[in-house]
Amino acid sequence: MNATHQAAAKSRRYHVLVIDAHPRADSFCGGLVAAAANGASAAQHEVRWLALRELVFNPNYTGQELEPCLERSRQELLWANHLMIVYPVWWGSMPALLKGWLDRVLLPGFAFEEREDGGWEGLLGGRSATLIATMDTPRWIFRGLLHSCSIRALRDATLRFCGIGPVRVLLFSPIRASTPEQRQLWLDQARREGYQLDQILHTGWRPRTRAWLQALRPQFYFFPWLALTAGAATASAERGTPFLWQPYLLCWAAAWLLEAIAVLTNEIHDVPTDTHNRNSGPFTGGSRVIVQGLLTAQQLHRGRNVAAGSLACVIVWLTLLPETSLPGLLSLIVAALTLGIGYTAPPLKLAYRTCGEPVVALTHSALVVLLGHVSQGGAAHTGPWLLALPMFFAVLPAIILAGFPDLEADEAAGKKTLAVRCGRRAAACMALATTFIAAALYATLFSSPWWFFLALLIHCGALMLGLIACVRQPRAGRINGLLALALSYMLWFAWVPWLKP
């Protein structure tokens, strides 16, 4: 996000570009445009209008140069950090005027570009949008039978593809049979939309919830829970005692709070990497909430403090339980907290010293398994280390591969991941070796039903084939499919306590 957008997001004052996409000046869309613009102006946002019918351009793209009015349109788009597009739905789609303007303005190199991995990257990030559409079709038909075709085309296939989001939608229908009173209500709603932009986009509970979920990255919490549960089940079976639910649930809460503290800390300190990263995805890079202006570093600090306070309460509660081994519990939590925060935060900055991958593998295997073991009254030094050993090697391939899409951004920020330090080919060889070691250790240490072991071997083979392809031809860009295969590989190793041959 450029300096203009950062300043606007910090002050919560938007640069609003209101686009009138109706071919006629005397339409009800014109009234909605005026209402939305006046509402935004009343809230002290800076507003500019763009009436597409006043532009003189060829709507058919044939590779020609942009007309001066379209060059100005691009400058307006770059200036804005919120778009309000008002248009009628005709024949289930948008007017030719709007479609032609989009075809001519949102070209490769300006609105999007192709990545090295063959995917596409939107270039207009840091902007949000509101679509205000009018139509005569009843909304239940438009949504139910027509599947909101016009909205999906403009919101999903166009704006979001170019990096613009979130995108809100207001649908007003049926227009032809509406009364003056109904139209006034719609005008008032459009004005409120402009007036309450900050509340709608950032301070309402829905956008705030979406932003915090994006920051906390819940996709990474499932495996720690499985590993903790495996450690708890093993301890309960070995001791021959009933399963202790209360300390187990409290240790589960502690593990998730530790993960949240680590994730938010890394997000705060990874801004230089996230700023350069063009290949971030659901499994790589940061959550990008700071770069996208969804949350500030100060908000993330407060969120981390809340998580730390909650963790302290959980620890106090655990110490009051007679079943808890206090020295083991505290040592595990302190170790996990130190390693999680120290992954990117000074003074440790483990990811900058090529220690990040083994540290993540250790915290997501041995430390979580031992925490589950302690929750059932076991001591940390007598924990199920053999259970954690193949888990450690099973986690490593995913962590190593996560550095592949981020390599150039990490290198620019000075982060020395294994991929940066050794290169993609050597790192892929390491991931290949650890994939095989995990399966070999499992086969050596544990017995399981033949069908389970066969499924594990098939998964292992598929992952190794993907890694061999990376060794032969390392490539930049996203590798979401291979990463999903590596992340799901580690799940097999948490089922040992429940398997009987």
What is the reported pTM? 0.75
Residues 252 and 269 sit within 8 Å (Cβ to Cβ): no
Architecture of domain 211-498: Orthogonal Bundle (1.10)
**Residue in 75, 69, 200, 203 with CA at minimum distance from that of residue 129:** 200
Per-residue tokens: 30: 């014109």
CA angle 394, 395, 401 (to 5 degrees): 110
Report the pLDDT value the prediction gives residue 476, as an integer from 0 to 100: 74
- CATH 1.10.600 in the chain, residues? 211-498
**Residue in 364, 369, 382 with CA at minimum distance from that of residue 486:** 364
- CATH 3.40.50.360 in the chain, residues? 3-203
Q: What is the DSSP string of 103-140?
A: HHHS-BTTTEEE-TTS-EEES--S-EEEEEEE-SS-HH
Cα–Cα distance measured from residue 497 to residue 162, given in angstroms and rounded to the nearest whole number: 47
Residues 293 and 1 sit within 8 Å (Cβ to Cβ): yes
Q: What are the tens digits of pLDDT across the range 45-65?
A: 999 999 999 999 999 998 899
Does an H or E element contain 375, and which? helix 368-375
Name the CATH topology of 3-203: Rossmann fold (3.40.50)
Residues 435 and 467 sit within 8 Å (Cβ to Cβ): yes
**Residue in 290, 202, 204, 208 with CA at minimum distance from that of residue 13:** 202
Question: Digits of tens for pLDDT over the chain (501 positions)?
Answer: 444 444 444 446 889 999 999 999 999 999 999 999 999 999 999 999 999 999 999 999 988 999 999 999 999 999 999 999 999 999 888 999 999 999 999 999 999 988 766 678 889 988 999 999 999 888 878 877 777 888 889 999 999 999 998 888 999 999 988 999 999 999 999 999 999 887 777 666 677 888 899 999 998 899 999 999 999 998 888 888 889 999 999 999 999 999 999 999 999 999 888 888 777 777 787 788 888 777 889 999 999 999 999 999 999 999 888 877 778 889 999 999 999 999 999 999 999 999 999 999 999 999 999 999 999 887 777 778 889 999 999 999 999 999 998 898 899 889 999 999 999 999 999 999 999 999 999 999 998 899 999 999 999 999 999 999 999 988 777 788 899 999 999 999 999 888 766
Q: What are the tens digits of pLDDT across the range 351-398?
A: 999 999 999 999 999 999 999 999 988 777 777 888 999 999 999 999
Neighbours of 212 (CB within 10 A): 18
Per-residue tokens: 227: 């590993």
Cα–Cα distance measured from residue 220 to residue 218, given in angstroms and rounded to the nearest whole number: 5
